[in-house]
Amino acid sequence: MRAPRSWSVSGPRPLRRGRGWWYGGLLLLASCSALTSTPTHQQPYLRSFLGVAFGTSMANAQVKYPEATVETSPLGFNCLRLENQFGQGIRYQSVVFEFSDSAGMQLVLAEIAPGSDSLVLDRLKRLLGPPLRGSVTDLQSQSNVWLTPEGGQVTFNPARNLLVVRNSASSAFAEDVRLRLDHGSLVLK
């Protein structure tokens, strides 16, 4: 009795001379591109915020949000500010995107509207998994912290209605966040 066609197994077809190298190169190229698009630590991470992808230039973000106000961060990074934004059922009172001249958008500071904090935490847990505990979590401010594979950090503090997404391990962006928080609020106004 013959096996059904969907189960049949046949041997590899002989390749014509020259095509084998071409197919092998194509397979190698495909496998390399698959590796670069996958997070290295199998930890999920945020690729964008309100439709602005990390790494996007300030000019491209301004095209998406022409109503955004241009500002400068405490350390001199170019910023775009949005007011009263709504996305994924969450209302943001204020959102600031910070840009590096060479690497594009690298930091988001979002002031969450009262009542949206549980939605933000639920969404972050769905996207990133459970937050880290212990020495990384700031227990005094009750922040929830997630680390990203490239050295960035996502911090959500429901008590302050504050979400900070830092895309890279850049110490300058970490210092910029610290300066903003040390000055009484986000220096968002």
Provide the token pair at 37: 């698009």
The mean of the pLDDT values for the chain is: 75
Provide the token pair at 49: 């915020």
pLDDT digits (tens, 9 = 90+) for 6-51: 333 333 444 445 554 444 443 333 333 332 333 444 455 678 999 9
So what's the pLDDT on residue 12? 42
CA–CA separation, 130 and 9 (whole Å): 44
So what's the pLDDT on residue 119? 93
Q: Which residue has the higher pLDDT, 4 or 47?
A: 47
So what's the pLDDT on residue 44? 58
pLDDT digits (tens, 9 = 90+) for 152-169: 889 999 888 999 999 876
3-state secondary structure of 119: helix
Q: Which residue has the higher pLDDT, 35 or 111?
A: 111
So what's the pLDDT on residue 107? 93
> Is residue 151 within 8 Å of 43, Cβ to Cβ?
no
So what's the pLDDT on residue 147? 86
CA–CA separation, 147 and 135 (whole Å): 13
So what's the pLDDT on residue 135? 37
So what's the pLDDT on residue 3? 41
Measuring CA to CA, how many Å separate 79 from each of 5, 13, 28, 88?
60, 57, 40, 23
- Quote the percentage of the chain above a pLDDT of 90: 41
pLDDT higher than 80, residue 122: yes
So what's the pLDDT on residue 72? 93
So what's the pLDDT on residue 171? 77
pTM reported for the whole predicted model: 0.71
Question: How buried is residue 55: exposed, middle or buried, by Cβ count under 10 Å (0-12/13-18/19+)?
Answer: middle
